[in-house]
Amino acid sequence: MISPSCLRAGSLIAARAAGLSRANGLWLEEHVHACTTCTREAELLSGVRAILLDAELAPTSGASNRAIHKALHAHRRGTASPTSRAPVRPIVLGLSFATALALIAITAVMQREYAASDAVHATATATVPRVERRPAVVMSDADRLQAGARVRTTERLQVLLAHASVELAPDSDAQWNGAARELSLRSGVVIAEVDPEPHRSFAVITNDFRVEVLGTRFEVTPSSVSVSRGRVRIAALDGTERAVLNAGERYDLEAETAVLAPKPQKRSEARKAVGKATTAPSPAISAPDVAALLTEARDALATDRFEQARRAIDRALAAQPAGATRAEALTLRAELLSAQGNRAGAVAAYIEVATRFQSMPAGENALFAAARMNDDAAAAKKLLAQYLERYPHGRFVVEAKYRLKR
C-alpha cells in the first residue's frame, strides 16, 4: 500500500524535469531522505533520464533533410503516404520504372529543344507553368545536358542537377556542365542543396571563384557565398584555396578584397565592408531592442543560423545590458558555441555565466551545463561538486549526484 506522501513524492519526482517550485523541491528532498522506496524511484528515474539524454538518440543531421525532401516529393507526386518499405516495394519499383521512362522522355524532348539553338534560354514560364505548385524541372540525367545547357530565369526556378537540388532566383543566368557537375553562375543567385555522396563532387563557379561541396545547402551570388548546412571550400579559379566555410558562415568577395589590400586612407571603408560580413555594433541600443535582439538570436540559434545568432548576441552585449538580460545574452553565447561544436569555448562561456550570476537561475543552469559539457572528467567532477555545494536544493541535484557516482 502506497502512503499519500509517497504518492505525492512520486508525482514530484516525475515532474522534476519539468521544474518544481521551491517549496515542493524542499518537501521532496526531505521526504526522499526519509523514504527508501522513494529514494530508489528518484534515483531510477534520474538514471533513466541521464541515459536517454546522454545518448545521441537523433540520427545524423542529414536525416531531417532527407525526410523533408522525401515528404515534399511524395506530396508533389500525390503520394503523401510515406515510405513503408516492405509492403509497397513492388509498387515503388513499378513507379520508379515508370518515372524513369517519363524522365527519359522529358529529357529527350528537352534535349531536342536545347539543340535548336547554341544557348537555350529556358525561362521558368516556358518550362514550368506554375512554379509555386510544381517548382522543379527535372533535369536529373546530367550527362544529356553536358553540351552546356544555359538557363535564364524570369522567376524562381528549381531544378534537379545530378545529386543536387538547385534553386535559381529570378533573373539568374547559369550554365550547367553535367560531365564535370559544375554550375557556372553568370548573374543572379543560386541556392544549392546537395545530398552527401562521397566521390561525387558538385561545384558552383562564378567569374571570381569556385565553390566545391560534398553535402550541404548554400547560397551563391557572383560576389558572396553563405552556407546554411555542411561545409564548402572556396577556391580561386586557378585552384588556390580562399576559404573553407562551415554552417552559418559567409564569404564576401568585396569584404575579403578590402581586408587583403587595405588602403590606409580608406581603412574605415574597409572596416565597413568587413562589417557587412561580421558585426556592426550599434552605439546606443535601447532595452526593448536588446530583448528583440536576444529573441532574434534565440530564433536563429533554434534554426541553426549561427552567424545571424552571433551578430544578434554581439549587438545585444555591445549595448551593455545588466542583470538577467546580460546573463541571458552570455548564456546564448555559450549555447551558440555549443551548437557550433566548440565544446571548450562553450564550457568557458558557461563558467563565466556561472561565476558572474551565481544567485540567478541562469548561473545555476550554466554551472550544471558546464559540468555536462566538460570533456575532462576530473574538471567535470569538480564542477559537479561545486554545483552541489552551491545549490544543495538545486534543480539538477539528483543528476549531479548520479554523474558524480558514475
Partner 1 sequence: MPIERTRREDPPDLIEGCRRGDRAALEQVLTAHAPYLERLLGRVVGPRAEVEDLLQMTLSAAITAFPQFRGEAQVRTWLARIAIRTAHDQLRRAEYRKRGELPSMEAVADDSNDGRRAEAHLDAKQRALRLHEHLNAIGARKRIAFILHVVEGHPIEDVAALMGASKTATKSRIFWARRELMRRAARDPWLKSLVAAEGVER
Sites of contact with partner 1 (CB under 8 A):
10-11, 14-15, 17-19, 36, 39-41, 43-49, 51-59, 61, 63-68, 70-72, 74-76, 80-85, 132-133, 135, 156, 158, 295, 298-299, 301-304, 331, 335, 365, 368-369, 372, 395-396, 401-402, 405-406
Q: What share of residues in the chain are helix, strand, coil (percent, to 5)?
A: 55, 15, 30
- Name the residue nearer to partner 1 (CB basis): 277 or 297: 297
Q: Distance (Å, rounded) from C-alpha 272 to C-alpha 278?
A: 9
| Nearest distance, CB of residue 217 and partner 1, angstroms | 9
Q: Which residues contact 7 (CB under 8 A, 6 or more apart)?
A: none
Q: Which is nearer to partner 1, 232 or 371 (CB)?
A: 371
Q: How far is the CB of 396 from partner 1 (least distance, A)?
A: 7
Q: Which is nearer to partner 1, 273 or 366 (CB)?
A: 366
Q: Read off φ and ψ for residue 3, nearest 5 degrees.
A: -75, 155
Residue 72 or 179: the one with the smaller Cβ distance to partner 1 is 72
* End-to-end Cα spacing for the chain: 33
Of 66 and 121, CB closest to partner 1: 66
Number of Cβ within 10 Å of residue 312's Cβ equals 26
Cβ proximity to partner 1: between 36 and 268 the closer is 36
Q: How far is the CB of 273 from partner 1 (least distance, A)?
A: 30
Q: Is the CB of 186 or the CB of 401 nearer to partner 1?
A: 401
Q: Are 373 and 338 in contact (CB under 8 A)?
A: yes
We find the least distance from the C-beta atom of residue 402 to partner 1, in angstroms, to be: 7
Give the span between the Cα atoms of 219 and 204, in whole angstroms. Answer: 10
Least distance in Å: CB of 102 to partner 1?
20
Helical ranges in 155-199 per DSSP H: none
Please state the closest distance from residue 39 (CB atom) to partner 1, in A: 6
Give the cell for residue 287.
532595452
Q: Which of 235, 181, 180 is nearest to 208 (CA)?
A: 235
Where are the strands (E) in 49-189, listed by range? 136-139, 149-152, 157-161, 164-168, 173-177, 182-187
Instruction: Supply 219's cell numbers.
Output: 547560397
Which residue number, 273 or 369, has a Cβ lying nearer to partner 1?
369
C-alpha cell at 123: 525561362
The most distant pair of C-alpha atoms in the chain lies apart, rounded to whole Å, by 88
Closest CB to partner 1 among 14 and 98? Answer: 14
Residue 176: name the closest of 205, 207, 215 by CA: 205
- Please state, in angstroms and rounded to a whole number, the distance separating the CA atoms of residues 126 and 242: 38
Closest approach of Cβ 199 to partner 1, in Å? 23
Name residues whose C-beta falls within 8 Å of residue 160's C-beta, 6 or more positions apart in sequence: 136, 137, 138, 139, 140, 166
Residue 146 beta carbon to partner 1: minimum distance, rounded to whole angstroms: 28
Q: Which helix (H) or strand (E) holds 13?
A: helix 4-14
Cβ at position 399, least distance to partner 1 in Å: 9
Pick 51 or 344: Cβ nearer partner 1: 51
For the CB of residue 386, give the shortest distance to partner 1 in the complex, in Å: 15
Element (H, E) at 47: helix 36-54
